[in-house]
Amino acid sequence: MVIVFQSKPSILASSAVAGPLEKKSVFYSYFDSVVEDERWNEKTNEQGHAKMILEASNIVMKKANIENLDVDYFLSGDLVNQMTPSNFAARELAISFIGLFSACATSVSSVIIASLLTELGASQYAIAGAASQHNAIERQFRYPNYYGGPKPATSQWTVTAAGYALVGKHNPEYPSIVAATVGKVVDYGDVNPMHMGGAMAPAAFDTITAHLKKRNQKFQDYDLIMTGDLGKIGLKILKAMLAQTGVKPEELQLLRDAGAEFYGEDEAFLAGASGAGCSASVYFSYIIQQLKTGRFKRVLLCATGALLSPLSFQQGESIPCTAHAIEMTME
């Protein structure tokens, strides 16, 4: 489903906060803050996770020179059971809050909802974004952090990072959201939770092609199309799928993936980065800054999410995936 925003809501401020390991990220220099302790000096990983979300939200407000009372909505999601880190951060923020779960696509789905609220006139300022904390996600979805189970070359490293954006009324000096596509849930029967890129690529394909078709656009209309966390192998699969439908190799060069690039070529991270904070921290730091400087004029951000739970794959269910996209421009 494609939404065209008549009022073109703008991203008035954005922030990215990351953990210590994310110093290895190629996007490191764009992050606002990097914390030395991955638990943010709290007792548990989950508390640290909540503190990271809180810190990212506070930076957004500080940048826009506003306070909690000025913000109408806080839209956030993460991957921990029942999204307690977002809930607990919202408790501290005391802003009207809707928790959203689109797995790693929450970075974009939250911005879509914020844009709709803004267009409706219901929101002056809304903070939207997503986060993930490696240890908390790893222990929940896979194994204890110090368990010596091997990971295959297809598996990805959940990042410790948060990315948040302040969505407000249109302002020509800031990047604006002109259209969005809410993705369907796509499932091609993949069952391997250590190969998320392979499970998610069809969802990205579905959303990107639907968006371009409905908007009557081509790849060349964009300076960049960036998926969320397909990883190195998932990106290759997506490119192969697009090539089959007649997209030319030079057009495919416009397609990049935040997860595939996040940790550079470091092989220790296997197929690249993943997690809700992966796309969020890259979109709301690097991409926004590139739009602001005018290097990009029009981008399509398509975040992908694998909608599984630790129980669902043990019960033999396949992995349903989704992808949400926003089209952003800079005048």
CA dihedral 71, 29, 264, 241 (to 10 degrees): 40
Any contact of residue 189 with other proteins (CB under 8 A)? yes
State the Cα angle at 230 between 79 and 32, rounded to 5°. 65
* Residue 246 is a binding residue for other proteins (CB under 8 A): no
Sequence-ordered list of residues with C-beta below 8 angstroms from that of 15, at least 6 positions apart, any chain: 32, 33, 56, 57, 59, 60, 63, 162, 163, 164, 165, 284, 285
Contact 323, 303 (CB under 8 A): yes
Binds other proteins by CB under 8 A, chosen from 188, 220, 295, 331: 188
Of the candidate residues 62, 151, 213, 295, the single one contacting other proteins (CB under 8 A) = 151
Instruction: Return the residues of window 26-85 that contact other proteins according to CB under 8 A.
Output: 38, 43-46
The correct pick among 63, 139, 184, 256 for binding other proteins (CB under 8 A) is 139
Number of residues that bind other proteins (CB under 8 A): 43
Binding span for other proteins by CB under 8 A among 79-87, 103-111, 189-197, 283-291: 189-197
CA distance 26 to 58: 24
CA distance linking residue 102 with residue 317, whole number of Å: 18
Beta bridge partners of 160: none
Residue 279 tokens read as 């796309």
User: Which of 283, 111, 77, 245 lies closest to 181 in space, CA to CA?
Assistant: 111
- Least Cβ distance, residue 35 to other proteins (angstroms): 12
**Using rule CB under 8 A, residue 129 touches other proteins:** no
Which residue carries 């409905």 as its tokens?
214
Give how far Cα 251 sits from Cα of 218, 254, 325, Å. Answer: 9, 6, 18
Binding residues for other proteins restricted to 157-176, rule: CB under 8 A: 157, 160
Contacts (Cβ under 8 Å, ≥6 apart) of 1: 181, 182
The smaller minimum CB distance to other proteins, of residues 8 and 195, is found at: 195
Q: Which of 36, 268, 294, 311 binds other proteins (CB under 8 A)?
A: 268
CB of 240 vs other proteins, minimal distance in Å = 6
154 within 8 A of 272, measured Cβ to Cβ: no
Q: Which is nearer to other proteins, 62 or 144 (CB)?
A: 144
Q: Which of 129, 168, 198, 320 binds other proteins (CB under 8 A)?
A: 198
User: Taking contact as CB under 8 A, which single stretch among the options 19-27, 52-60, 172-180, 218-226 is the one that binds other proteins?
Assistant: 19-27
- Is 237 an interacting residue with respect to other proteins (CB under 8 A)? yes
276 CB-contact burial (10 Å; exposed 0-12 / middle 13-18 / buried 19+): buried
CB of 83 to other proteins, least distance (A): 18
Nearer to other proteins, 19 or 259 (CB): 19
Using rule CB under 8 A, residue 277 touches other proteins: no
Cα(102)–Cα(115) distance, integer angstroms: 17
Closest distance to other proteins from the beta carbon of 81 (Å): 13
Q: Interface residues with other proteins (CB under 8 A)?
A: 19, 21, 24, 38, 43-46, 134-135, 138-139, 143-154, 157, 160, 188-190, 192, 195, 198, 201-202, 233, 236-237, 240-241, 244, 266, 268-269
